[in-house]
């Protein structure tokens, strides 16, 4: 499963696995894997999260025979926040909302 962040008519959506999206959304102060927000407010949350510089040591991949979690590389959260900043800046200029789910 994955979560896609997008703005109507925006070029590139930002896709993440559910577990990685949950970490990024937590850094943004959201608790749900689906939602929408005014681009200006979303951008504000992204900028605050980046200013707080969330340290992401990553997580190793694990498999138990039934389930595989591919893990998360070091610095993943910061990298994704920068992508979301670009999306939110575009959406704000265009007067669009950010949606995810």
Does position 58 have pLDDT exceeding 90, yes or no?
A: no
Q: Which tops the pLDDT comparison, 4 or 56? A: 4
Tokens of 100: 């995810």
Does position 10 have pLDDT exceeding 70, yes or no?
A: no
Neighbour count for residue 65 (Cβ, 10 Å):
5
pLDDT of residue 85: 96
pLDDT of residue 11: 67
Contact 4, 14 (CB under 8 A): yes
For 11-40, what is each residue's pLDDT tens digit? 689 999 888 899 899 999 999 999 999 999
Return the closest-CA partner of residue 98 out of 51, 44, 56.
Answer: 44
Cα angle 23-41-95, degrees, rounded to a multiple of 5: 120
pTM of the model: 0.84
pLDDT of residue 44: 97
pLDDT of residue 75: 81
For 63-80, what is each residue's pLDDT tens digit? 887 876 667 778 888 999
Tokens of 98: 């950010």
Query: Mean pLDDT across the stretch 40-51?
Result: 96
Q: What is the DSSP string of 49-85?
A: HHHT------B--EE-SS-EE--B-TTHHHHHHHHHH
């Amino acid at each position: 499963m994955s979560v896609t962040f997008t703005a109507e008519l925006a070029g590139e959506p930002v896709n993440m696995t559910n577990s990685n999206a949950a970490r990024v959304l937590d850094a943004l102060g959201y608790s749900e894997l689906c939602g929408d927000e005014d681009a200006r407010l979303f951008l504000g949350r992204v900028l605050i999260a980046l200013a707080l510089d969330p340290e992401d040591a990553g997580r190793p991949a694990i498999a138990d025979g039934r389930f595989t979690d591919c893990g998360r590389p070091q610095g993943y959260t910061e990298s994704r926040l920068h992508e979301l900043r670009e999306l939110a800046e575009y959406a704000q200029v265009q007067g669009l909302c950010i949606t995810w789910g």
